[in-house]
Amino acid sequence: MMKKTLLFMLFVCCAALLAEAQVTINPGLSWKDDSGNVIQAHGGGIVKAGKTFYWYGEDRSDNKSSQKINCYSSTDLKNWTFRKVVLSSSTPGMAEANLERPKVLYNDKTKKYVLWVHKENTHDYGEAKALVAVSDKPDGDFTFIKEFRPFGNMSRDCNLFKDEDGTAYFVSTARENTDMICYRLSPDYLDAVEQRKILDGGRREAPVIFKRNGLYYLCTSAATGWAPNYNSVQTAKNIFGPYGPQQPLYSNTTGNSYDSQTAFVLDVNGTLVMVADRWKGWDLKDSRYMWLPMNFDSKGGLMPIEWADSWTIDPITGNAKAPARLKPASNNIALNKTAEASVANTVNGNEARCAFDGNPATKWCADNGNWPHWLMVDLGQIYKISSSEITWERNNGTAYQYIIESSLDKNSWTTVIDKSRNTNGDQTQVDNSIAGGRYFRVRAIGHIDVKGGYSWASLFEWKLISDGINVALHKTATADSQQAGTYAVKANDGEFESAWYTGGGKLGNSWAVDLGKPYNLTGCRIMWQDPGFYYQYKIDVSSDKNTWTTMIDKTDTNVIWTPVHKFNASNARYLRITVNGLDDGCWLGIREVEVFDTKPLPLHTGTIRISGRK
């Protein structure tokens, strides 16, 4: 018995040791070091030595030019210790300087840490030089080597990249931030020995280069001072290019990259993290850090970076978890619901659930060419369905013949749509005025093929639409302040990329919607304009637009981009949101307000798991 207990305790200890040490990252929130001081490492870069990460960045604590480069260390990427100022105007050989976007590489041959940084004087950006320094230790005093214009080119925003073969590159903006040039460095990394213009024109800055599966990725921002703008990514098979067209680096964004600017890509055992800055040009010392995980699709393509109020990562394994992409409350009730089919081609992953995953690229397919076959979905509760949209596999004019049935108990079925003699070859078949039910089944009866092909029972997506899930969708909306193009209606158009902005961006403004008739409301979800800020507001409801009852009064400073509020408001026709408090640097706007009268609230949230290198 004693032996068993000891063995069990030993097992528990080992499991605890092996258990992942996930740390939580909160983009945009003020980040303090382990002495309680706000971390001053803006426009930064990180190297790993042994088990320790070293974060170098600009010190903006005096809200002026960056005359000091700080170095912090951490073993878990969350808790940082200030090490020292590794380079500054008082470093021997240096004079007053504005040192921006420091980056450090370790040279395996010389066993030295080499730092390159954008160097200006302290009053304008006229010098446009690169400055090089070196140190034996990652947190040592870096020795000034030189400051210069590589190959005589102006050089401002910059970065370093080390390829698998140890060759290092420096990339920086040239010709008044108009071009981007990539320089191959000398074997000791202390000089630029070859140059290639990788962006000719385009006025891109804040360059970051990383490599994955043999492909080079170049992330850049536009050049708009401290103000946020459209950050993009381009790829190339060779570091010197040619780089392909710009793709959006971030998803769901209204062109301001979640109010951030690229600085560095951190590789945590294969998991890539975008390290970006949320600059506060009016209070630089309080500029924030926007660290978000980068995810790749099944074909290895970089997916636009999703926002996360918080996400977790294991600093050793690189395994990370983050909220999946948010989608507007879909009136497609069947989305992500449990599905079954008579047969499914599982070997190719064409399972029944693929017809309800909201992804037009995946499909359910029978595993043989026989007909009929059926596909069924359980909506989880009874819904009144207003229309069905089936996107069949073939888009070549093949006419699919089918019957849609509904059931309350999965045993007795009622035919609600009979298209068994359908001859229409539209790939997406829309059928209206369906019926109520919990279970819905499509029986694929037959097919009229064109051009001699032979179709199997197979479809990409089956949507079951129920009006009134989001009862605010496209209803009359008003606001007491708005701007051209960002009218109140943009906040209930079912789109996350459009938004209502107030004219003055200030407090006390309100947005309201007339639902058209009284509802027994159960809650709502708001997607604010910019994530990573706190909003304070009241949600009121009314049956007559005169007497208002407060359902929600949020006065805390918690940072939640898309708060979901549950409440019970009977006989409510009008809903109003009044904003009484805003985080520093946040302009008041709302991307979407969704209002519900069902329980549970029809919101689908998922988690993405990013696994590090095995």
Nearer to ligand DGJ, 97 or 206 (CB): 206
Nearer to ligand DGJ, 98 or 234 (CB): 98
CA dist 424 to 396, 401, 421, 447, 525, Å? 11, 9, 9, 10, 39
Whole-number minimum distance, CB 225 to ligand DGJ, in Å?
Answer: 4
Whole-number minimum distance, CB 58 to ligand DGJ, in Å?
Answer: 8
Query: Which residue number is nearest to ligand DGJ in terms of Cβ?
Result: 225
341 Cβ contact list (under 8 Å, min separation 6) = 351, 352, 364, 366, 373, 374, 375, 376
Nearer to ligand DGJ, 223 or 434 (CB): 223
Q: In whole angstroms, what is the distance from residue 307 CA to residue 351 CA?
A: 29
CA dist 251 to 124, 299, 327, Å? 34, 18, 11
DSSP-derived 3-state class of residue 11: helix
The answer to the question of residue 225 lying near ligand DGJ (CB under 6 A) is: yes
Q: In whole angstroms, what is the distance from residue 139 CA to residue 347 CA?
A: 53
Nearer to ligand DGJ, 87 or 491 (CB): 87
On whether the CB atoms of residues 519 and 542 are closer than 8 A, the answer is no
Whole-number minimum distance, CB 234 to ligand DGJ, in Å?
Answer: 18
Whole-number minimum distance, CB 100 to ligand DGJ, in Å?
Answer: 5
Site for ligand DGJ in 532-561 (CB under 6 A): none
Whole-number minimum distance, CB 135 to ligand DGJ, in Å?
Answer: 23
Nearer to ligand DGJ, 25 or 206 (CB): 206
Give the single-character DSSP code of 258. T
**Runs of H (alpha helix) within 47-166:** none
The answer to the question of residue 179 lying near ligand DGJ (CB under 6 A) is: no
Question: Which one of 8, 11, 151, 226 is in contact with ligand DGJ (CB under 6 A)?
Answer: 226
Closest CA to 291 of 302, 307, 304: 307
Whole-number minimum distance, CB 288 to ligand DGJ, in Å?
Answer: 15
Question: Which one of 157, 314, 493, 594 is in contact with ligand DGJ (CB under 6 A)?
Answer: 157
The answer to the question of residue 206 lying near ligand DGJ (CB under 6 A) is: yes
Nearer to ligand DGJ, 261 or 470 (CB): 261
Residue 257 — left, alpha, or beta (φ > 0 → left; ψ -120 to 50 → alpha)?
left
The answer to the question of residue 259 lying near ligand DGJ (CB under 6 A) is: no
The answer to the question of residue 275 lying near ligand DGJ (CB under 6 A) is: no
Nearer to ligand DGJ, 74 or 262 (CB): 262
Q: In whole angstroms, what is the distance from residue 320 CA to residue 268 CA?
A: 10
DSSP-derived 3-state class of residue 346: helix
Q: Is 460 exposed, middle or buried (0-12, 13-18, 19+ CB in 10 A)?
A: buried
Whole-number minimum distance, CB 43 to ligand DGJ, in Å?
Answer: 5
Whole-number minimum distance, CB 48 to ligand DGJ, in Å?
Answer: 24
Q: In whole angstroms, what is the distance from residue 128 CA to residue 120 CA?
A: 6
The answer to the question of residue 44 lying near ligand DGJ (CB under 6 A) is: no
Site for ligand DGJ in 91-150 (CB under 6 A): 100-101
Nearer to ligand DGJ, 118 or 162 (CB): 118
Whole-number minimum distance, CB 57 to ligand DGJ, in Å?
Answer: 11
Nearer to ligand DGJ, 206 or 442 (CB): 206
Whole-number minimum distance, CB 505 to ligand DGJ, in Å?
Answer: 21
238 Cβ contact list (under 8 Å, min separation 6) = 216
Whole-number minimum distance, CB 274 to ligand DGJ, in Å?
Answer: 15
Residue span 354-393 as binding mask against ligand DGJ, x where in contact by CB under 6 A, dash where not: ----------------------------------------
Give the long-range contacts of residues 293-302, CB within 8 A, separation 24 or more.
Answer: 293/320, 293/322, 293/608, 293/610, 294/265, 295/322, 295/608, 295/610, 296/212, 300/212, 300/213, 302/212, 302/217, 302/233, 302/235, 302/247
Whole-number minimum distance, CB 11 to ligand DGJ, in Å?
Answer: 51
The answer to the question of residue 351 lying near ligand DGJ (CB under 6 A) is: no
- Check the CA dihedral 377-380-381-384 and report its sign: negative
Q: In whole angstroms, what is the distance from residue 93 CA to residue 248 CA?
A: 42
Nearer to ligand DGJ, 262 or 466 (CB): 262
In the numeric block, which tokens belong to residue 217?
């990725």
Closest CA to 103 of 89, 88, 113, 91: 113
Helices (H) and strands (E) in the chain, counts: 1, 39
Q: What are phi and psi of 6, to 5 degrees?
A: -60, -45
Nearer to ligand DGJ, 255 or 504 (CB): 255
| # residues near ligand DGJ by CB under 6 A | 9
Question: Which one of 27, 28, 43, 602 is in contact with ligand DGJ (CB under 6 A)?
Answer: 43
Whole-number minimum distance, CB 173 to ligand DGJ, in Å?
Answer: 9
On whether the CB atoms of residues 567 and 506 are closer than 8 A, the answer is no
The answer to the question of residue 207 lying near ligand DGJ (CB under 6 A) is: no
Amino acid at 314: D
The answer to the question of residue 205 lying near ligand DGJ (CB under 6 A) is: yes
Nearer to ligand DGJ, 78 or 280 (CB): 280
With b meaning 16 or more CB within 10 Å and e meaning fewer, what string describes 514-538?
Answer: ebeebbebbbbbbbbbbbbbbbbbb
The answer to the question of residue 437 lying near ligand DGJ (CB under 6 A) is: no
Nearer to ligand DGJ, 263 or 569 (CB): 263
| Interface contacts to ligand DGJ, rule CB under 6 A | 43, 100-101, 157, 205-206, 225-226, 261
